[in-house]
Amino acid sequence: MKTWAVILGGTALLAGAAMVLTASNPLDAEAVAQPAPAAASAYDFTMTAIDGKPMPFAQYRGKVLLVVNTASFCGLTPQYEGLQKLHAQYAPRGFTVIGVPSGDFMGQEYDDNGKIKEFCETKFGITFPLTERVSVKGPNAAPFFRWAKTQLASNNEPQWNFHKFLVGRDGRLIAGFSSRTSPESPDVKAAIERALG
């Protein structure tokens, strides 16, 4: 009797999984099949700045970049302060933080780019460049993030707000740091120092 219960329970789980797959948006299945963009470096990507102007990463060629998906209403939002300090400290040596606002994780970002910009500038005095709000995870992620996910041996798709991607002067991805890693942690600073040479 117990054996049949286990078999029937397993069958129910499989049937439930099939129902979930059937109910999902058919566009999602198509999007999942899309490969990561073919690119030689981060400089091959263009995003849109928070003010609506094109932001080609090629304009940062030769610099070290820290690309971070950000959010205004997250418990980790105070990391903006550390990111601004890093930007101010290392900018004279050829370093730039790029903030990428996203509402992917529990909708913890404004829907309006103007409000995001105002929040960042008034609350944290942010002077580093910000992109418009985009998706950073899954099949609808901005092309840079889909590419970055494929560049490192470990899984470096953002799992939460404030995931950090370090890009070297040659535009290649050097490292990824989890959300919980402070911008001013010894690991992040050491990696930046090595990248700057």
Any idea which residues carry the catalytic annotation?
74
Instruction: Give dist(CA 195, CA 166) in Å, integer.
Output: 9
Following DSSP, what letter does each residue of the chain receive, concatenated?
Answer: -HHHHHHHHHHHHHHHHHHHHHHS-HHHHHHHTPPPPP-SSGGG-EEEBTTSSEEEGGGGTTSEEEEEEE-SSSTTTTHHHHHHHHHHHHGGGTEEEEEEE--TTTT-S-S-HHHHHHHHHHHH---S-BBPP---SSTTS-HHHHHHHTTSSS--S-SSTT-EEEE-TTS-EEEEE-TTS-TTSHHHHHHHHHHH-
Alpha-carbon dihedral 117, 136, 140, 110, rounded to 10 degrees: -30
